[in-house]
Amino acid sequence: MKKFKLKFKAGFTLIETLVAVTILSAAVAGPMVLSIKSISSASVSQDQLVAFYLGQEVIEYVRNVRDTNLINSSGDWLNGLNDCEISGSAGCYIDVIKNPVTVTDCEVACSNKLKFDGTNYNYTSVSDTNFIRTVKITRLTADEAQIDVKVEWTGKYGAKTMTLQDNIFNWR
């Protein structure tokens, strides 16, 4: 009887191939998960940055109104912002892009979404955004007022709110 010698060719077995594919998949999946998380974080950060600038824009406008009133000696140092004072009001909308600037009392609740025209956020463009901005001004004394700006939006991970607060003074 002849003995047959089995010749094994050099190569990968099925188990070695499965182990190699598993290791390769793990090596690729880790960086992919990290990049997806980074993109999500960047999206959230972008919304927070836009909300901050929307709030700061209104605070700068209120300061400008105060300074203009004081320089021109036009009566009340907060003249033109009466609709934002919160004596029974829900606050106001201020469209700083519109010429002339409009200050509108919210009456019951501020729910007007800001719109984006490709350059600026305002209340007259066509394209709605997720941002709602509410401005409230409270006179603390005859020469001090508190500005509260609330920017609300719905982002990738649900509803978010950013509140900015500043105190301004009648510097005359």
Per-residue pLDDT reduced to its tens digit, 44-95: 899 999 999 999 999 999 999 999 999 998 788 998 888 888 766 688 889 8
DSSP classification of residue 73: T
Q: Is the pLDDT of residue 171 over 90?
A: no
- The pLDDT of residue 5 is above 70: no
Exposed/middle/buried for residue 71 (C-beta within 10 Å: 0-12, 13-18, 19+): exposed
Decide if 59 contacts 164 (C-beta within 8 A): yes
Task: Report the SS3 class of residue 77.
Answer: coil
> 31 forms bridges with which residues in the sheet?
none
C-alpha span between 111 and 126 (Å, rounded): 16
Task: Find the mean pLDDT for residues 114-129.
Answer: 88
Provide CB contacts within 8 A for 93, sequence distance 6+.
Answer: 102, 103, 104, 106, 110, 112, 123, 133, 134, 135
